Amino acid sequence: MAQNRNTREVSNREFTERPKQWLPPDLLPEPDKQAGYEYRWVRVSMLNNADPRNLSSRLREGYEPVRAEEQPQYKMFTDHDSRFKDNIEIGGLLLCKIPSEIVKARFEYEANMTKQSSEAVDNSFMRQSDARMPLFQERKSTVSFGQKQ
């Protein structure tokens, strides 16, 4: 008795793949990561007006413009009329990098400032507490899903 089997050509991966879906392209390409650095696109102009204040602020924070030799795949994407000929600028945004240690230190600084601000607000709030009707602050939250019956 002969079995009815499909040929290998019909059952290969090409015929079982899902159809490809179209996705809009990314406006800014993702750079190849270098160990020890974080990358960010920094605004250098908006509506054809230079924004030197933003760029100088980022440079003082520790950002360095990425040279075109470091990311050669972006040579064809860069603006030809750019003020930053040796760097990567796309649509008024300049690709910059910063050491990861600086990013971590800035995060810790901002977390500490947030903690200090919260403590100051709490202290001010608790100062208004009266023994006859004390104020309390509850610092925990719960998450529940659905209802129990």
The residue length of the chain stands at 149
DSSP letter for 74, please: G
> Which residues have a Cβ under 8 Å from the Cβ of 5 and sit 6 or more positions away?
none
For the segment 4-25, what is each residue's pLDDT rounded down to a tens digit? Answer: 666 665 555 565 667 778 777 7
Q: Among candidates 65, 100, 105, which has minimal Cα distance to 83?
A: 65
pTM assigned to the model: 0.62
Greater confidence (101 vs 124) lies with: 101
Residue 49 has pLDDT above 60, yes or no: yes
pLDDT at position 82:
73
- If one counts every other C-beta atom within 10 angstroms of the C-beta of residue 42, the result is 20
